[in-house]
Amino acid sequence: MARFNDSNADFAARVDRAISSKGMIQMANAENPNATLTINEVAARINVTPRTIRKVLRANFDETPGRGGRYAIKVSDLPALRSMIESHTAKAAVTLEFPSK
């Protein structure tokens, strides 16, 4: 918001500083492929329930975090996890054929 005693140049300079600082924040938030995500964060990103992700991970891996443990999934592993989920849900789908009368 402009102050009453700001000149147009002062106001423009403050707006430019605010915009450039937001750009720096966005660059700082650029995804690190080694960053880890929780199950809930992954579920929100790939639009499935956390329960589905846990079921797929249990079905595909022998090691689980155990009671009270947590999964930590790397950002770089999201495409592979997404394909695992798609193949898992495709296997779970059943096509029923009803006899015709």
Write down the domain spans for the chain: 36-92
Chain-wide mean pLDDT for the chain? 76
Contact 69/39 with Cβ under 8 angstroms? no
Question: In this predicted model, which residue has the larger pLDDT, 22 or 88?
Answer: 88
Residues in the chain: 101
For residues 12-21, average pLDDT: 55
Provide CB contacts within 8 A for 73, sequence distance 6+.
36, 37, 38, 39, 42, 81
pTM for the complete prediction? 0.57
Contact 74/35 with Cβ under 8 angstroms? yes
- Indicate the helix (H) or strand (E) that contains 11: helix 8-28
What whole-number distance in Å separates Cα of residue 27 and Cα of residue 17? 15
Its CATH class, for the domain covering 36-92, is mainly alpha
Confidence of residue 28 (pLDDT cuts 50, 70, 90): very low
